[in-house]
Amino acid sequence: MRTPRSLPLQEAAAPTSLNPRMNDLNRRLRMGFLAAMALAGWCVLNPLTSPQEVSPWQAAPPVATSSPAGAPEKRERTLLFVGDVMLARGVYARMETQDDWALPFEKIADTLRNADLRFCNLECPVSDRGHNLHHLYSFRADPLALEGLKAAGFNVVSQANNHAYDWGPEALLDSLERLRAAGIRPVGAGQNDMAAHYPALVNVDGLRVAFLAYVEIDPKEAMAGVDRPGVAWLEPARVLADIRFARPLADLVIVCPHWGVEYALKPTRNQVELAHQMIDAGADLIVGSHPHVVQALEPYHDRWIAYSLGNFVFDQKNSATHRGLMLKVAVRDKQIADVTPVPININSSFQAVLTPAQPATPEPTLVERKSAAAHAQSAR
Ligand SMILES: [Zn+2]
């Protein structure tokens, strides 16, 4: 193969006109051209990247599959969502005593392993830095707890909650850095409000998923500012704008609000309204947390809203907080095909365990059927 001869410099130079007006025009055209080239170069060198200085895509784009162009994809992917995970206080003490940082997840490891992506709300920073701000309860997990999150296979965790800032900005930023270093994508917090609101974009073997996470629970001092680290606040107008921004970047947009009333069995009217608006703005799924108890799953416009998944790993005393829900989300043809709630319990070692299957309600016997029919007859 012949190497093309490079042009001598003078050949590339623009011809000069004898007409001074034409020279001026040429100069202007050249300057315009150079400016356009500089702009194009800037755009190439500065693609739209996350302000968190990480590549927006965790994994490389998929290699083309053998399925013919245009044919629907056969492979199903499972995304698994769990509720609040708090790895400090009693949970830490238990892990430390047994010298086992994966302890909270061990009894449910198989279920976690069978998913293609795992998400939790991480209700504490993971750090050995910062200062205790002495909130009513202040949580900070030992960095060793990361071993457990890694072993359980969590890919994305929300730090948009009312405990991520318990040890101030230093611990929060350290936590975000440690999570990223461990290959776990934090969402809903950052070095400033742009970073906190930027979606975590994750590639699940070719399926592009955008995660957004927010909190509306005090302390409000945790809210990220223009030049202040913190968490993304659940401001409706901003949230809807974030969803519209994320929509064209991904196949699925999933919003994880930390909201509502602790121990309440139902969401508030405002939550329901906002959840509907989020779906209308383009979200595919809403997965909420904070109340520490499970709340309703609502279908809305062919999408699903889980208002609260309750706890997954926590050490609260109230027995109602020892039950939670996992959400198993099956994705086919890049759309959510099935949403299955899977109940869990938290045992006395603060481990998430699958709730034992309830015995099936026995079929009514012939006698009971007869008497029921007779009862119906007599009631007429
Ligand atoms: Zn909370």
Dist. CA 79 → ligand 1 center (Å): 22
Position 165 scores a pLDDT of 96
Q: Enter the DSSP assignment of 369.
A: H
44-88: pLDDT as tens digits? 333 333 434 333 344 433 333 444 555 556 689 999 999 999 999
> 305 in helix, strand or coil?
strand
Dist. CA 1 → ligand 1 center (Å): 66
Dist. CA 266 → ligand 1 center (Å): 16
Position 135 scores a pLDDT of 82
Residue 337 host element (H or E): strand 335-346
CA geometry: angle 82, 56, 47, nearest 5 deg: 160
Give the CA radius of gyration of the chain: 27
Q: Characterise 28 by phi-psi region: left (phi > 0), alpha (psi -120 to 50), beta (else).
A: alpha
> How far is Cα 220 from Cα 175, in angstroms, rounded to an integer?
19
8 Å CB contact between 119 and 204: no
What is the pLDDT confidence band of residue 298, given thresholds at 50, 70 and 90?
A: very high
Of 85, 119, 108, the C-alpha closest to 327 is 119
> How far is Cα 254 from Cα 248, in angstroms, rounded to an integer?
13
Dist. CA 160 → ligand 1 center (Å): 9
155-168: pLDDT as tens digits? 999 999 999 999 99
Position 359 scores a pLDDT of 65
Position 33 scores a pLDDT of 43
> How far is Cα 116 from Cα 300, in angstroms, rounded to an integer?
25
Dist. CA 28 → ligand 1 center (Å): 60
> How far is Cα 195 from Cα 53, in angstroms, rounded to an integer?
9
Dist. CA 219 → ligand 1 center (Å): 11
E strand segments, 99-229: 117-122, 156-158, 185-187, 189-190, 200-204, 207-215
Position 356 scores a pLDDT of 82
Homologous superfamily (CATH) of 77-354 is: Metallo-dependent phosphatases (3.60.21.10)
More confident residue, 134 or 95: 95
Position 374 scores a pLDDT of 52
More confident residue, 371 or 105: 105
More confident residue, 269 or 49: 269
8 Å CB contact between 255 and 278: yes
Burial of 370 (C-beta count, 10 Å sphere; 0-12/13-18/19+): exposed
90 pLDDT higher than 60? yes
91 pLDDT higher than 60? yes
Position 63 scores a pLDDT of 37
**pLDDT above 90 covers what percent of the chain?**
72
8 Å CB contact between 255 and 226: no
Q: In angstroms, how far apart are the furthest CA atoms of the chain?
A: 113
- Other Cβ atoms closer than 10 A to 102: 15
What is the pLDDT confidence band of residue 282, given thresholds at 50, 70 and 90?
A: very high
Burial of 28 (C-beta count, 10 Å sphere; 0-12/13-18/19+): exposed
User: Could you tell me how many residues make up the chain?
Assistant: 380
Dist. CA 84 → ligand 1 center (Å): 8
Backbone angles phi, psi at 93, to 5 degrees: -55, -45
Position 55 scores a pLDDT of 37
Q: Please give the C-alpha separations between residue 207 and each of 68, 210, 322, in angstroms, as whole numbers.
A: 18, 10, 33
200-239: pLDDT as tens digits? 999 999 999 999 999 999 999 999 999 999 999 999 999 9
Of 284, 277, 325, 269, the C-alpha closest to 199 is 284
Quote the mean pLDDT of the chain.
83
The model's pTM is 0.77
Dist. CA 7 → ligand 1 center (Å): 66
305 pLDDT higher than 80? yes
96-140: pLDDT as tens digits? 999 999 999 999 999 999 999 999 999 999 999 999 998 888 899
- The pairing of strands 230-231 and 252-258 is unpaired
Of 276, 327, 300, the C-alpha closest to 79 is 327
- Amino acid letter, residue 144: L
Dist. CA 260 → ligand 1 center (Å): 9
